[in-house]
Amino acid sequence: MKACAEVEVEAGRRIRWSAAPPVVLRRTGPTRVHLVAAAGGPLGGDRLELRIRLAEDTELTIGSAGATVAQPGRPGSGPACWMVAAELAVGARLRWAPQPTVVCDRAELHAIVRVTLAERASVLVREEVLLGRYGQLGGRYRGTLSVDRVGVPLLRHTTVLDGADPALCGPAGTGGASAVGSLLVAGPGWCARGGGDRTSERREPGEKPDSGELPGVRWAVSELAGGGATLLLAVGESPRVAELLDGAGSSTGLDSGRH
């Protein structure tokens, strides 16, 4: 299946969109829309896309009504592909915070998020991937996040997971954890924080932690070159990863909650 949906916030803050099942959008607030599942999947071989455009000084929050569940397609169908491309004009603000993506056994999903920021534009990208349903090892996931700011590359980040690959699930990978999450915030004066004072690492008073470990979750924070942008990565148990991402997002001034 191939489908492309679009959502645009115009200069008068009017929200316009076009849906192409299974990529269906519903407005759920003055500045909020939700993705609503119109069919199962994505399945192997699907090519799905969402294009987002925000006019100057507008804002939009995009969530989802439920988890995205990637499932295997017919033999030889190849991976499913899910692309999100967002263009933000001067001073625009986007919050991308869908429910988790679940990659079932034998499924393969390539997820791509591309964001283009103009001057003073701000974005929060919250993503969580779960390897398999209950009792499953999980399939293969390749997620790419790229952000450009005023024509200059800000971030190029790729995550590769496979619940059936001992190397990717080993100590140098997820360490047997079933959930991997990330939170990118980019905008004037924002940063994402990790475990705060609960981190187990020792540090000087007033020094912000850049990594840590709490019961059920490990995390690390990286401030990106150019300033005003931070990437938080977390791995662990699903409820703990979600709690960490939401807590970090709430400290940025951009609410990361999945409303």
Per-residue pLDDT tens for 74-94? 888 999 999 999 999 999 999
pTM: 0.89
Which of the two residues, 114 and 211, has the higher pLDDT score?
114
Q: Which of these, 159, 175, 180, lies nearest to 238 by C-alpha position?
A: 180
User: What SS3 class is residue 117?
Assistant: strand
Residue with tokens 């909020």: 32
Which of the two residues, 193 and 144, has the higher pLDDT score?
144
| pLDDT band of 202, cuts 50, 70, 90 | very low
Q: What is the pLDDT of residue 121?
A: 97
Pairing of strands 47-54, 152-162: unpaired
Contact 157, 208 (CB under 8 A): no
Residues 233 and 256: their CA atoms lie apart, in Å, by 14
The whole-number average pLDDT for the span 124-145 is 96
pLDDT tops 70 at residue 191: no
| pLDDT band of 195, cuts 50, 70, 90 | low
Pairing of strands 122-131, 93-96: parallel
Residues 96 and 119: their CA atoms lie apart, in Å, by 19
Residues 118 and 124: their CA atoms lie apart, in Å, by 15
Residues 170 and 168: their CA atoms lie apart, in Å, by 6
Q: What is the pLDDT of residue 152?
A: 95
Token pair for residue 227? Answer: 């300033």
Q: What is the pLDDT of residue 205?
A: 36
Q: What is the pLDDT of residue 192?
A: 61
Chain length of the chain: 259
Residues 224 and 82: their CA atoms lie apart, in Å, by 25
Q: Which residues contact 164 (CB under 8 A, 6 or more apart)?
A: 105, 137, 138, 139, 140
User: What SS3 class is residue 13?
Assistant: coil
Lowest-confidence segment of 41-50, 154-163, 205-214 by average pLDDT: 205-214
Per-residue pLDDT tens for 40-72? 779 999 999 999 999 999 999 999 999 999 999
